[in-house]
């Protein structure tokens, strides 16, 4: 850490240029920038896991680094993000939808739901970040609320309406440092959880 | 989870066949098997992170999965393992040495030490698993003890003697379920930490 008070990435955050157009592909990028800021400002230790790859063939050219010449993307067995915030294990995935009305539950792999459930059971904070990119609305949906909708989807509706997310989700507001300040809405939620 | 009481992998654990010969390459495999057992028996949620790969070129053959045709291994920015045990965020890396007398600190990347320090500062449990494969001795070295040796290495000895590890480390004993029962020695350590 070069400088805790004035992290080198401040400049990046002072000129947020978020347009609805590019945000669709970039929610993960905003989360990654936020994580970098949280780490440099000593607020949290949260990292994105590498994308899992099945390596089939590796070449070892003379005097160069090993080159992977055949590999395939694998389905992740867990979520993309985990880490440590306020002494708490946190674990989440980032999901985007182009829909204006609802978030389809088919966007979540069953093994991801199982993983989030295991984290919740063991005392961690499990959630999804759900981005309605065309509405420019971003929510944190804690596992307890998510599981309610997953159960409903067995016999009923297979998606979460935007009105339901506005009710059950914690809204992520754009900030200055970091721009995508997704930990702030979790603060009061964590305080509530600790009381129980 | 199919069956919490009788996980399907029980059979794997009932016939441990560990020889000094093959253990050198397989400490990580034993840790992975242990993690699988801990998860199935509902004791902990700990996963190995995928190996980070820099993808340079991807081919999209017709009617087949995307094929990565050029990629390189990257240096991991954190440790290989993290997860949740007894409500606590835990984070560690597995290191092996062929030495009979000491563990060289050059085996640990500086960014890994920084990461473990950040985890420790934020209230997580950070440690190394150090395997002396030819001695068949395995230790957990908590971050606080590790940092003492890292500091000493600036002006003095650049390795940790086996005698020091026997003193400061928590010994991992081979068990039945799982064979590589590395969480058991942490139990009393965690209880001590919680008291402070």
The closest of A142, A147, A108 to A125, measured between CA atoms, is: A142
Of A45, A55, A71, the CB nearest to B118: A45
CA torsion sign for B181, B183, B187, B189 is positive
Give the per-residue SS3 of B11-80: HHHHCCCCCHHHHCCCHHHHHHHHHHHHHHCCCEEEEECCCCEEEEEEECCCCCCCEEEEEEECCCCCCC
User: Which residues of chain B are under the pLDDT cut of 50?
Assistant: 1-24
CA torsion sign for B160, B165, B169, B173 is positive
Distance CA B132, CA B95 (A): 9
Token digits for A34?
């936020």
Predicted model pTM: 0.85
Whether A56 and chain B come into contact, CB under 8 Å, resolves to: no
CA A87, distance to chain mean position in Å, is 18
In order, the DSSP letters of A82-132 are EEEETTEEEEEEEEEE--SSEEEGGGS-HHHHHHHHHHHHTT-EEEEEEEE
Report the complex ipTM: 0.84
Q: Where are the alpha helices (DSSP H) in B89-195?
A: 110-121, 143-155, 162-168, 184-195
- The residue among A79 and B14 whose pLDDT is bigger is A79
Please, are residues A139 and A169 in contact by the beta-carbon 8 Å criterion?
Answer: yes
CB contact under 8 A, A85 and B122: yes
Token digits for A69?
């010449």
Token digits for B76?
């991991």
The closest of A193, A194, A108 to A150, measured between CA atoms, is: A108
pLDDT confidence of residue A17: 46
- One of 2.60.40.10, 3.30.300.30, 1.10.490.10, 3.40.1350.10 is the CATH number of A12-50+77-195, namely 3.40.1350.10
User: What's the whole-number average pLDDT of chain A?
Assistant: 88
Chain A residues within an 8 Å CB radius of B53: 50-51, 53, 55, 68, 71
pLDDT confidence of residue A193: 76
Whether B45 and chain A come into contact, CB under 8 Å, resolves to: yes
Distance CA B101, CA A53 (A): 37
Q: With cut-offs at 50, 70 and 90, classify the pLDDT of residue A4.
A: very low
Please, are residues A59 and A69 in contact by the beta-carbon 8 Å criterion?
Answer: yes
Distances (CA, A) of A179 to A34, A39, A80, A138, B94: 7, 14, 20, 13, 36
- Is a pLDDT exceeding 60 seen at residue A139? yes
pLDDT confidence of residue A192: 83
At which residue do the structure tokens 């989360």 appear? Answer: A31
Q: With cut-offs at 50, 70 and 90, classify the pLDDT of residue A179.
A: very high
Please, are residues A125 and A88 in contact by the beta-carbon 8 Å criterion?
Answer: yes
- One of 3.90.245.10, 3.30.460.10, 3.90.1200.10, 3.40.1350.10 is the CATH number of B16-50+76-195, namely 3.40.1350.10
pLDDT confidence of residue A196: 66
Give residue-wise pLDDT tens across range B15-44: 444 444 444 458 999 999 999 999 999 999
Neighbour tally for B80: CB within 10 Å = 18
pLDDT confidence of residue A5: 47
Domain map of chain B by residue range?
16-50+76-195
pLDDT confidence of residue A66: 92
Chain A residues within an 8 Å CB radius of B47: 77-78
pLDDT confidence of residue B136: 94
Q: With cut-offs at 50, 70 and 90, classify the pLDDT of residue A173.
A: very high
pLDDT confidence of residue B167: 97
Please, are residues A45 and B122 in contact by the beta-carbon 8 Å criterion?
Answer: yes
pLDDT confidence of residue B14: 41
Give residue-wise pLDDT tens across range A12-46: 444 444 444 443 458 999 999 999 999 999 999 99
Whether A122 and chain B come into contact, CB under 8 Å, resolves to: yes
Size of interface A-B (CB pairs under 8 A): 106
């Amino acid at each position: 850490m070069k400088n805790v008070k004035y992290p080198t990435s401040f400049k990046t955050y002072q000129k947020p240029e978020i347009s609805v157009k590019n945000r669709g592909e970039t929610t993960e990028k905003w989360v990654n920038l936020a994580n970098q800021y949280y780490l440099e400002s000593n607020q949290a230790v949260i990292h994105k896991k590498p994308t899992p790859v099945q390596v089939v063939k590796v070449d070892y050219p003379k005097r160069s680094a090993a080159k992977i010449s055949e590999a395939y993307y694998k389905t992740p067995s867990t979520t993309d993000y985990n880490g440590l915030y306020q002494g708490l294990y946190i674990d989440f995935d980032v999901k985007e939808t182009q829909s204006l009305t609802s978030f389809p539950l088919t966007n979540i792999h069953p093994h991801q739901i199982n993983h989030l459930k295991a984290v919740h059971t063991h005392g961690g904070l499990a959630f999804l970040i759900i981005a309605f990119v065309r509405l420019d609305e971003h929510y944190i949906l804690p596992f307890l609320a998510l599981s309610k909708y997953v159960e409903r989807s067995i016999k009923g509706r297979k998606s979460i309406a935007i009105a339901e997310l506005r009710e059950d989700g914690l809204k992520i507001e754009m900030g200055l440092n970091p721009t995508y300040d997704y930990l702030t809405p979790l603060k009061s939620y964590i305080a509530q959880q600790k009381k129980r």
